[in-house]
């Protein structure tokens, strides 16, 4: 919980697992649908993975929903500005996110991907290309990441890896459910 949220007695919103798996020319992003506040499930079927950039980019978020929508909108503008070049748009968004007084307070992480690249974006200005073509964020992210890495030696289909990793995360993380949204490029 942020200091300001704690000072105002606000409960922290928990939950989300987003995983990205890239194999060959196909990348899949999957996310669960649970939104929790404290120990209460507020919504079981939120869509945390979506297409942006004229459908050529898939993006998933973990964190505050309004913050994530702000970042989606900003990334879409950057994609328009830089002719759909995801890497350039992501770097420019990360610069803004780190330096802009308003954006700096946004609490979210993102995984974004197009047909060539998958990236993890953070408010610290990080634009990370995951090793091994697998990235995960959110409360169940480490569980999904471990499961996907274990599966990747035996399975080549990124959708099967992502779905099974999400299933494992949902079985272990109380802030993750089995209502999966999946998009691929």
Which pLDDT value is given to residue 181? 94
> What's domain 14-175's architecture?
4-Layer Sandwich (3.60)
Give the pLDDT band (50/70/90) at residue 59: very high
Domain regions of the chain by residue span: 14-175
Give the strand order in the sheet containing 134-138: 134-138, 17-23, 26-31, 181-184
Name the residue with higher pLDDT: 144 or 98.
144
Out of 16, 17, 176, 181, pick the active-site residue.
Answer: 16
Neighbouring C-alpha atoms within 13 Å toward the C-beta of 105: 7
Average pLDDT over residues 63-80: 87
pLDDT tens digits along 110-132: 999 999 999 999 878 889 999 89
Per-residue model confidence (pLDDT) at position 76: 95
pLDDT digits (tens, 9 = 90+) for 39-57: 888 888 889 999 998 999 9
pLDDT, one tens digit per residue, over 73-113 is: 999 999 999 999 999 999 999 888 888 777 767 777 899 99
Instruction: Look up 16 and say whether it is catalytic.
Output: yes
């Amino acid at each position: 919980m942020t200091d300001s949220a704690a000072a105002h007695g606000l409960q922290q919103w928990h939950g989300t697992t987003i995983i990205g798996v890239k194999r060959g020319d196909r990348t899949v992003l999957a996310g669960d649908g649970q939104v929790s506040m404290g120990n209460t499930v507020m919504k079981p079927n939120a869509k945390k993975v979506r297409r942006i950039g004229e459908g050529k980019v898939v993006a998933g978020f973990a964190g505050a929903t309004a913050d994530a929508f702000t970042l989606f909108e900003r990334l879409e503008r950057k994609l328009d500005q830089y002719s759909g070049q995801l890497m350039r748009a992501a770097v420019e968004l990360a610069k803004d996110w780190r330096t802009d007084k308003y954006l700096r307070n946004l609490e979210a992480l993102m995984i974004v991907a197009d047909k060539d690249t998958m990236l993890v974006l953070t408010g610290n200005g990080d634009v990370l290309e995951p090793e091994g073509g697998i990235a995960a964020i959110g409360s169940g992210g480490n569980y999904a990441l471990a499961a996907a890495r274990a599966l990747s030696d035996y399975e080549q289909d990124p959708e099967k890896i992502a779905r099974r990793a999400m299933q494992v995360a949902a079985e272990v993380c109380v802030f993750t459910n089995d209502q999966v949204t999946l998009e691929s490029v």
